[in-house]
Amino acid sequence: MSETRPGRVSSQRLLPGWRNLAVAFCATAFLLSGVHAASSKKDVRAKTSASASKSSSASSKPSKSTKTASSKRAVSKQTAKADRTSAKSSSRVSVTYSKSAGSRSVTKQRVIARTYEPSRQSFGQMAGLHGADDALDLRSSVALVVDQDTHEVLFSKNEQAVLPIASITKLMTGVLISEAHLPGDELITITQDDVDTEKHSSSRLRVGSTLPRSEMLHLALMSSENRAAHALGRTYPGGLSTFVAMMNAKARSLGMHDTRYVEPTGLSSSNQSSARDLAVLVNYAYGDPLLREYSTSPERQVEVGSRVLQFNTTNRLVKSPEWEIGLQKTGYISEAGQCLVMQARIAGRKLIMVFLDGVGRYSRIADAERVRRWVEANQYMSPAASPALTPVDSNANRQTSIRTIDFAS
């Protein structure tokens, strides 16, 4: 029987303990390796997500070349806007356009030449005619309202002033063409001679456009077509000089002693007349059915070569249901201001109205409306009920005795 030494442990007794320790160590190592693997996978996923996010963010940001192109486009747009703004006050401007072509920025430049007529005072303003007050507070410095049947002057303001009449001139042009009884279907071609070289006004009738004489007259009276009016005078028997001489002779025969014409359109400020003379002309022209029809047409489509052009009246009152207009003509150049002559029935009375040298684009329309309301407010429905409204002479700013105009001169 073997003896056991004190302080020593038997190997048989230690072996199970070591075995258990080894198993525990292996299990711990296995668990730690699993945790590390899971943590690595998480880190990889996190890194991948961060990389993708970074890549997405980078792709959303423009590249350096793209930034340059965008910057150039923005600068070009600002330049174009600034140039277009400066075009409003400059007669010659440069407009820059920019278009992106991949990584390049293509810039095109176009020069626009514009002609501006400096603002100027009308003849009436220079003469101080706008200083005259009137009971109706009109914007026109010259005005005249006459009863066509009784010839009574219902309202007057500077009626003796002789001023440029602009396209009111075309009414006399129409009178001569109509009374000449020239073939209405005869074709007239617009030439370079008909182009406005004085005011440089535009026209939809290009050089080479051909229309019947009757169509030219229609457009001259309805739409105030300058080239049409000039072509009518140019093709008159004897030519333009003969036509102008006939215009002045007709004016004298009607007793229009304040009137002078130098051309058939009204573009020249030398075409001048007075309100009294123009009232005589309106009364005379009203007797021609063709002039009544053409001057009061609201609109018309015209075939010019391969094009169909839409022309409209220059007087919007023609389209108003509140107005019954028998004849009218508008006019404007800077020297004449806004002008309008009309024959209209108001409150049962046939009236002739003349407005010259109006200030403001719609001044002539507003003045006509003021006169209409004034007549209607007096509630005189017919001359039989009341021979005349109380006449007003704005020159004295007071009521006056009844005065008439002799249309039969």
pLDDT tens for the chain, 409 residues: list them.
444 444 444 445 545 555 666 656 656 665 555 545 555 555 545 555 555 444 444 444 455 444 445 544 554 455 444 444 434 444 444 444 444 445 444 444 444 444 445 568 999 999 999 998 999 999 999 999 999 999 999 999 999 999 999 999 999 999 999 999 999 999 999 999 999 999 999 999 999 999 999 999 999 999 999 999 999 999 999 999 999 999 999 999 999 999 999 999 999 999 999 999 999 999 999 999 999 999 999 999 999 999 999 999 999 999 999 999 999 999 999 999 999 999 999 999 999 999 999 999 999 999 999 999 999 998 644 444 444 445 555 554 455 567 889 886 5
The answer to whether the beta carbons of residues 371 and 385 sit under 8 Å apart is: no
- Closest alpha carbon to 356 in 148, 173, 144, 174: 144
Quote the CA–CA distance of 268 and 235 in Å, as a whole number. 19
What's phi and psi for 234, nearest 5 deg? Answer: -65, -35
Q: What angle do CA 283, 258, 118 make, to 5 degrees?
A: 100
DSSP letter string over 33-66?
Answer: HHHHHHHHHHHHHHHHHHHHHHHHHHHHSPPHHH
Q: Are 165 and 278 in contact (CB under 8 A)?
A: yes
Measured CA to CA, the distance from residue 259 to residue 271 in angstroms comes to: 8
Is there a catalytic annotation at residue 241?
no
* 123-399: CATH number: 3.40.710.10
Q: Which helix (H) or strand (E) holds 255?
A: none
Which residues sit opposite 273 in a β-bridge? 163
- DSSP states of 98-156 as a string? EEEETTEEEEEEEEEE---PPP---HHHHTTGGG---TT--SEEEEEEEETTT-BEEEE
Has 55 been annotated as catalytic? no
| The one catalytic residue among 76, 167, 273, 394 | 167
Active-site pick, 140, 224, 274, 363: 224
The number of angstroms, rounded, from the C-alpha of 373 to the middle of its chain's C-alpha atoms is 28
Question: What residues does each domain of the chain span?
Answer: 71-113, 123-399
For the entire predicted model, the pTM comes to: 0.70
Give catalytic status of residue 60 as yes or no.
no
Alpha-carbon gap, residue 115 to 111, rounded angstroms: 13
Point out the catalytic residue in the list 170, 250, 329, 350. Answer: 170
How far is 389 from 373, CA to CA, in rounded Å?
13
